[in-house]
Amino acid sequence: MPYSPLHDLPAGLAARAARIRLACFDVDGTLTDGRLYYDYAGNESKAFSVLDGQGLKQLEHAGIHVALITARASLSAEKRGQDLGLHVQIGVRNKRTAVEALCEQHAVGLDEVLFMGDDLPDLPALLAVGLPVAPANAHPWIAERVQWHTRARGGEGAAREVCDVLLAAQGKVDALLQRFSE
């Protein structure tokens, strides 16, 4: 049986995923494993999954706007977003307000937004959007308030799992595979 990211999803999730036009992702704990590394001079570094990055790029290519939104003033997150050609907001105090501004910019309703987050600063955005998602290792207070938890942990393919579901739910996988097969 061919791989289908829509297999075993909670009821109604594929229909919600089919409507998503803006996908927003927290960074620490969602696109990374949540650990912060500092060198002797205080410079921060993080590890990002290339699988997640490829998924995010494919969402953009498929016409779904992607934004990375982090509360930390993280140059690592900004650099990763630039490398992928994505919209990045760092040092965000209120992620819901940031998502609402992106909705206005892209003429998208909150019900057409996916937000993926793992901890308390993500809660206002998660409660406002049409499809709130958390990685497998999200804090329990967040996990119990989202509509779907990925099988993968943050920084270990959780975002890619979300991207694959969105692409499949919107019928864009065949075109994606064809493009890479040429």
Mean pLDDT of residues grouped by 10 in the chain (182 residues)?
Answer: 81 94 98 95 94 98 98 94 96 97 98 98 98 98 96 97 97 94 89
**What's the pLDDT at 97?**
98
Assess if residue 126 is contained within a domain: yes
**What's the pLDDT at 77?**
94
In 101-126, which positions are buried (b, 16+ CB within 10 angstroms) versus exposed (e)? ebbeeeebeeebbbbbbbbebbbbbb
Assess if residue 14 is contained within a domain: no
Structural domain boundaries enclosing 118: 21-181
Assess if residue 1 is contained within a domain: no
Domain count, the chain: 1
Assess if residue 16 is contained within a domain: no
Half-sphere exposure of 68 (CA within 13 A, CB side): 31
Displacement of CA 48 from its chain's centroid (Å): 13
CATH number of the domain bearing residue 132: 3.40.50.1000
**What's the pLDDT at 10?**
84
The C-alpha atoms of residue 57 and residue 55 are separated, in whole angstroms, by 5
Assess if residue 7 is contained within a domain: no
Cα-trace Rg, the chain: 15
DSSP string across 132-181: EEE-TT--HHHHTTSSEE-SSPTTTTHHHHHHHHHHHHTT-HHHHHHHHH
Torsion sign (Cα): 48, 55, 99, 145 = negative
**What's the pLDDT at 69?**
98
Angle at the Cα of 54 from the Cα atoms of 51 and 55, rounded to 5 degrees: 85
Assess if residue 12 is contained within a domain: no
Angle at the Cα of 129 from the Cα atoms of 127 and 69, rounded to 5 degrees: 90
